[in-house]
Structure 1
Amino acid sequence: MKTKSMAFGLFVSLSLATASLAQQTNSTMTAGSTTTVGKESTSSFDSQNKKGAAAVAAVKASPEKLSGADQDLMLQVAKGGVMQLEASKLAVQQATNPEIKLLAQAEVDEQTGLSAKLQEIASAKGMTLPTGPDAETQTMLSKLQSATGMSFDRLYLTESGVKGHEKLDIVMSTVQSSASDASLKAVAKAAHPLIKTHLKVARQIVDKL
């Protein structure tokens, strides 16, 4: 009986030690896999996201009505933002690559803040912005929803991480150079640096895959 008891105790000790080692290994792998996002350190990436969010939040909404051209530009910004937001919500849940998950979460945070600011500006000017995805966005979301694993990761990075940010980069540049409304120009100026950062990081992650 004593021999069996000692053997059982040894088995339990070895099992606990193995489980502890496995947990430590998993934690190390998880931490190690997310020390960078693209070529940015996670701390630097987080800092840039916080700085961008603060810049957008600080923009003041003026009550002056928008010209037809400015309304069109604002709609383009809003449309691109909704597309990025909805795609990134999916990526937070479905992406398998930890760097993509971090990028997607940063995108959700960015576009949520930008959407709130655009709605604030639109409300001050008596304008209504779309709050849901349009047909183009729905098509992209359907493609993402049908993809899994690495196929999902690549599709999200291609459609949202790269192409989506390229479109927003162009739109924000156009707003800053062509818009006449001060609030609209200010929000584009505030959001544009982070859009460029997310585009750069997305391209860097693509190169790693």
Structure 2
Amino acid sequence: MKKNILAAALFASTTMMWACGGNDKKDGGTMTTGENTMVDSTATTPAAGGAATGAALDTMSQNFAMTAASSDMLEIQSSNMAMQNGNSDRVKNFATTMIRDHGTTSTQLKTIASNKGITLPTDLMPPHKAMLDQLQGKTGKDFDKAYAAMQVTAHQAAVDLFQRASNGATDADLKNFATQHLPHLRMHLDSAQAINR
């Protein structure tokens, strides 16, 4: 229980970083908020010929893209674990949906980021890594229980992240991306809550 609370707190602090992006302390290509450090993609070289490049994007939009990319990786990696270590058909069916849907959003986000000169993370951010680590070494019913609880926490944070981007991102492509996928994330959250009972 304490691990779930800690993971949720770490995840919330990371997702809050993009919402408060304009107030982050910038130091040579990194942004530091509390204990979390993220790469500041404004330090990347702008894409040639593109008007809306990473250098031109606001910090809020960049942090949304980076956090969403890490969230997709968490969903895919944890769901691949569920296919191997899970016990129930409900969990495995949910995991199949997560792999498919988050694979789709990941591909779309990579295209948007590439067009804007944003360098997305290739590894999980620390809060997502902490959530994935909770599943390590678990199998069967123990895995199912931990996976379902993690999915609820992860999707609550993702819904919040995408809702804020849908309302407040200044980049039109990222705002549209968030708005387009928000209903799917809400459905995922409902499904995760159902398997967590």
Note the C-alpha offset of 1:63.
Answer: 5.5
Among residues 60, 64, 68, which one is paired with 1:73 in the alignment? 64
Displacement of 1:68 in angstroms is 1.8
Q: Tell me, yes or no, if structure 1 residue 170 matches structure 2 residue 170.
A: no
Larger-Rg structure: 1
Q: Is the 8 A contact 2:85 2:138 kept in 1?
A: no
Say how many residue pairs are matched.
145
Contact 1:176 1:189 (C-alpha < 8 Å) held by counterparts: yes
Gapped runs of 5+ residues in structure 2?
1-49
Structure 1: where are the runs of 5+ without partners?
A: 1-61
2:98 aligned residue = 107
**TM-score, with length taken from structure 1:** 0.65
User: Are 2:155 and 2:188, in contact at CA under 8 Å, matched by a contact in 1?
Assistant: yes
User: Who is 2:172 aligned against?
Assistant: 182
Whole-angstrom CA distance in 2 between matches of 1:116 and 1:101: 22
Q: CA RMSD in A?
A: 1.5
Instruction: Indicate whether 1:154 and 2:145 are aligned.
Output: yes
The structure whose residues are more often helix, as a share, is 1
Task: Give CA-to-partner distance per residue, 1:126-171, whole Å, 9 cap, x none.
Answer: 1110122233333333331211111100000001x20000000000
Matches of 1:171 and 1:135 in 2, distance apart?
16
Q: Using CA pairs under 8 Å that are at least 6 residues apart, name the structure with larger relative contact order, 1 or 2.
A: 1
Matching residue of 1:192:
182
Paired position in structure 2 for 1:203: 193
Question: What's the secondary structure of 2:119's corresponding residue?
Answer: coil
Residues 46-67 of structure 1 deviation map (CA, whole Å, 9 limit, x = unaligned): xxxxxxxxxxxxxxxx861322
1:124 match: 115
Matches for 1:53-92 after TM superposition, within 5 Å: 64-65=52-53, 66-92=57-83
The answer on whether the counterparts of 1:63 and 1:124 sit within 8 Å (CA) in structure 2 is no
User: After TM superposition, which residue ranges in structure 1, 4 or more long, deviate above 6 angstroms?
Assistant: none
Residue 89 of structure 1, CA deviation: 1.1
